[in-house]
Amino acid sequence: MPACAGMTKLICPRSLLTALLLAFLPVAFPARADAPARVVAVHDGDTVTVLSNQRPLRIRLTDIDAPELGQPFGKRSKTALADLCFGRAAALEIRGRDRYGRTLARLSCDGVDANAEQVRRGYAWVFTRYAQANSPLYALQLDAQAAGRGLWTDRAPTAPWEWRRRRRTAARSVRLSDSSR
């Protein structure tokens, strides 16, 4: 006997679940990876917004971490990504979502792998916390370091994850000293 036999369609739990899933499906998956897309905003060296199916989608480039805007080379990293992608056709290889709700993806702009290009040009690090050990991005980073490209012109560049950690620690210290007065 079917699970909803004898129940009206409106109150059948299975029908209700199906209706809810269908209602929220566009929110959970706002764009298909193969849908035509265009980069309409560049937020920093590893985050853009693309317009796909008339919907904006905030993209965090996977496996790389670019300097923060307040960090040395942060603005140059953003400019490099804008030069590469802004206003251009974009192809996405979606990998998931991060804790901030951004879509994680490999991004190609007019056929150029933006994730790899940011590392190759020296405007992003390989994000060792997330990149696979055999990622070709490591070789691109070593090449950029050896050639002294981008942030590698600095004698001792600070990785963004380290820079963020130091800022959080400093902010905590200020809060603790303020609360002890």
Catalogue the active-site residues. 60, 68, 102
The continuous run of DSSP H or E covering 162 comes out as helix 160-179
Question: Residues 103, 108, 114, 120: is their CA dihedral positive or negative?
Answer: positive
What is the C-alpha to C-alpha distance for residues 67 and 63, in angstroms, rounded to an integer?
Answer: 14
For Cα atoms 71, 136, 123, give the angle at the middle one, nearest 5 degrees. 20
Surface-to-core class of residue 115, CB atoms within 10 Å of its CB (0-12 exposed, 13-18 middle, 19+ buried): buried
The contacts of residue 3 (CB under 8 Å, 6+ apart) are: 12, 13, 14
